[in-house]
Amino acid sequence: MGKQAAILKADGLHKAYRMGTARVKVLKGVDLTVREGDFAAVIGASGSGKSTLLHILGGLDRPDEGTVSFDGRDLSRMRARELNRYRNEMVGFVFQFYHLLDELNVLENVLLPAMVSRSIAGWFMSRRVARRRAAEVLEQMGLSDRARHKPYQLSGGERQRVAIGRALMNEPRLLLADEPTGNLDSTTGNGILAVLERLNQAGQTIVMVTHDERIAARAERTITLADGKIRE
Amino acid sequence: MYKLKLITRYLLKRRITHFAVLAVALCVFIVVVVMTVMSGLVWGFKQNNHEFVGDCIVGTKSLVGFPYYEEFAQVLERTDFVTAVSPVVKNYALLRPDAIDVTAGVEILGIDPVRHSRATNFAQTLYYRADNPAAAFRPLYDPNALGCVFGIDLALPKSAMGQYAYNIRPTRRAYALTCFPLNARGAPSRSASMVATQRFFYSDHSHTGIARVDGSTVYIPLEQAQTLCMDGELKRVTSLHVKFRAGAALRPSCARVRELWNDFRQDKQDANDAYLLDTVTVESWKEHRRASIAPMEQEEVILSVMFSFVGMTTVFIVFVVFYMIVSHKTRDIGILKSVGASNASVMALFSGFALVVGLLGSGSGTLAGLWFLARINQVEGWLFEHFGWQLWDRSVYAIGAIPNRIEPGLLAVIIGCAITACQIGALVPGYLAARLRPVETLHGSRT
Ligand SMILES: Nc1ncnc2c1ncn2[C@@H]1O[C@H](COP(=O)(O)OP(=O)(O)OP(=O)(O)O)[C@@H](O)[C@H]1O
Ligand SMILES: [Mg+2]
């Protein structure tokens, strides 16, 4: 397969957490390259640092050591504004526990990344385009008839699809998903995986975290995280 | 954009925000009502003092008075900024009603009622002769008798609600006023008895609204006062009350009067009894009535200070509410930041939220305040009728109705302060929220 250029590169990532007086080293030198069009699964035992790694890749956390570069640009050298833009436009993040805003309905949750980056005036200028994109995403996720519902009215699988829809809203180059099926029964989980596979076939680059070998097997590339290091 | 949406959603959803709005409204309500009443009182009190003395007073504290006043009055009347000048003799006297053995000490003001009505609001304070001040000293029951005007509290009894027992016509009453005439050297006159006594008939009463004046002043004709209280070749008065043209600025006009007076004194240097002119000062009405206005103003300042504490309470309430919202909503803040919201926009979310709380709170508080003020006198009257409770005893205080004139400027200041207080209260929680790192807030929350 003629692989595309690397879009995300992690080099020698270290991360430790302070637990009282002790320091728990979670990542001890992680190197990783993600190429355009990849569907990579990061697998590892619970507590092995998968979420930590994904957060660092998504610009939600900083490594103690090492660098993450996106399109050749080092995240740690980005200004706050650029980092906000990175989170807003370059990557879409799907959390294990959906993390939807309860006060907003499905449509508004999906629109959130588009709203966040715009002023009120800017929003009124571009809201038609954004609405069309959101409708398209909801259609893709099979949630068109749920647009006006609130998160508490949805099932777990539906919520996760809303979360994926939100992550896709701004057409990010990279989709990061942290155990997107971890909270769902296997049928519903399979539905979510099918959605991700379809997205990947359409060209979406995806990095997915899981601790389930069978799910990892569905990805085209499996990365194992153990003892704070990567094995491929 | 999401800010607007979240602000409205939070406001509609969270009961705690309703409490914040309510708390702000309550503070604003209290401040609006009390400050309006207080500033109304102070304003009315100043107004009364101003109208009682005119704009500017050329006078001496000495009861001996000063001569050549009529000449200086002419100097003033010739200028373009003075519209009226009224010479006044102020002194003290013993007042004794005919056939009753009760003698009281009173202050007497000798005035020309027409000139004094031009310089001050004397005519408006009268009851029977309000339309015809020239006849102020002519009793209705006997126009040829020598009349005097009493301060209203000397003349009429007053009910608990502050209503005077007015009579349709003045009752015929005679009084003896006794004074100690002073010569130009300030010594008692050498006339046989050393005192001068004159009988007057009650002709009218004057209601200035200044308790001390209304309770102790008797107005008599200027010439009578001069013969009763003064002795000497040259006629003297203790002050000239000056009224300026409408729109003339107070301070510069007083300064001009002061210049004119200094020139006048120079000219009179070698005249008889010229030394009496040295005790004369020129004061604006504010300076002249300083002693009675200052305590009032001080009370207003103290009240403002106390209300700044109320303001701090508002800040604190908003702080607590917002702090609670931040700690309830850390997850939401994490989500917003994970999709790219900047620190500044999270901060703006909270300050916008505070703005809405401030606007709604101060808006409803102001409306409630205005509503209450419009009815405050009714409410007080009702309370008095049913429970005998009164804000202040009208038989003691010279205040009539509770003032409820709304000052837009004051209102704007109060609303501005309330909104600022909300902003300050939201500042720290907003800052804490903005500084939250997305991972910290999302870690471990599972909804
Ligand atoms: N903010 C934090 N503070 C302290 N310790 C943390 C923090 N985040 C993660 N850890 C610790 O780091 C380790 C790795 O956590 P992480 O969430 O990355 O694991 P994981 O592989 O995603 O596990 P799981 O499969 O259960 O989600 C764990 O031991 C966890 O307790
Ligand atoms: Mg995890």
* Per-residue pLDDT tens over the stretch B260-306: 999 999 999 898 888 999 999 999 999 999 988 888 888 888 888 88
Q: Whose CA is nearest to atom 29 of ligand 1?
A: A47
Atom of ligand 1 nearest to the CA of A52: 18
Q: Residues B101, B106, B107, CA angle at the centre, nearest 5°?
A: 160
pLDDT digits (tens, 9 = 90+) for B417-438: 888 888 888 888 888 888 888 8
Residues of B in contact with A81 (CB under 8 A): 342
Would you state the structure tokens that stand for residue A198, as one six-digit string? 């379809």
- Of B141, B147, B168, the closest CA to residue B156 belongs to B168
Residues of B in contact with A120 (CB under 8 A): 1, 4
Best A18, A53, A81, A84 residue to mutate vs chain B (most B CBs within 10 Å): A84
Q: Whose CA is nearest to atom 16 of ligand 1?
A: A49
Q: Is any Cβ of chain B less than 8 angstroms from the Cβ of A47?
A: no
Q: Predicted confidence band at B445 (pLDDT cuts at 50, 70, 90)?
A: low
- Of A136, A143, A135, A139, the closest CA to residue A160 belongs to A143
Going from the Cα of A24 to the center of ligand 1, the distance in angstroms, rounded, reads 10
Residues sharing a CB contact under 8 Å with residue B72, sequence separation 6 or more, in sequence order: B58, B240, B260, B261, B264
The stretches in chain A having pLDDT less than 50 are 1-2
B18 CA: distance to closest CA in chain A (Å):
16
H helical segments located in B329-400: 330-338, 343-387
Best B10, B329, B338, B439 residue to mutate vs chain A (most A CBs within 10 Å): B338
* Domains defined for chain A, CATH in brackets: 36-62+79-231 (3.40.50.300)
Q: Is any Cβ of chain B less than 8 angstroms from the Cβ of A98?
A: yes
B15 CA: distance to closest CA in chain A (Å):
14
- Of A203, A123, A130, A194, the closest CA to residue A164 belongs to A194
| Residues near ion ligand 2 (Cβ under 5 Å) | A 51
Q: Whose CA is nearest to atom 7 of ligand 1?
A: A17
Length of chain B: 447
Q: Is any Cβ of chain B less than 8 angstroms from the Cβ of A80?
A: yes
How many CA atoms does the CB half-sphere of B108 hold within 13 Å? Answer: 31
pLDDT (mean) for B206-212: 89
Q: Is any Cβ of chain B less than 8 angstroms from the Cβ of A67?
A: no
Please give the residue of chain B at the shortest CA–CA distance from A95: B442
Per-residue pLDDT at B70:
94
Residues of B in contact with A98 (CB under 8 A): 447
The answer to whether the CB atoms of A61 and B439 lie below 8 A apart is yes
Q: What does pTM read for this prediction? A: 0.72
Would you state the structure tokens that stand for residue A158, as one six-digit string? 């539906």
Q: Judge whether residue B143 has pLDDT over 50.
A: yes
pLDDT digits (tens, 9 = 90+) for A140-187: 888 999 999 999 999 988 999 999 999 999 999 999 999 888 878 888
Per-residue pLDDT at A214:
85
A25 CA: distance to closest CA in chain B (Å):
17
Per-residue pLDDT at A1:
45
| Residue that wins the pLDDT comparison between B1 and B13 | B13
Where is A226: in which H helix or E strand?
A: strand A221-226
Q: Is any Cβ of chain B less than 8 angstroms from the Cβ of A31?
A: no
Asked whether the beta carbons of A227 and A49 are under 8 A apart, the reply is no
Instruction: Indicate the domain borders of chain B.
Output: 2-47+293-446, 61-279
How many other β-carbons are positioned within 10 Å of the β-carbon of residue B12?
10
pLDDT (mean) for B327-350: 86
Q: Whose CA is nearest to atom 6 of ligand 1?
A: A17
Which residue among B2, B13, B338 sits closest to A93, beta carbon to beta carbon? B338
Asked whether the beta carbons of A169 and A111 are under 8 A apart, the reply is yes
Best B10, B16, B337, B339 residue to mutate vs chain A (most A CBs within 10 Å): B339
Would you state the torsion angle of the CA atoms of residues A105, A111, A116, A120, taken in this order, to the nearest 10 degrees?
-90
Whole-angstrom Cα distance, residue A63 to residue B64? 93
The answer to whether the CB atoms of B442 and A123 lie below 8 A apart is no
Q: Judge whether residue B39 has pLDDT over 90.
A: no
pLDDT digits (tens, 9 = 90+) for B364-409: 999 999 999 888 888 888 888 787 777 766 655 556 677 777 888 8
Place of tokens 């007080």: B380
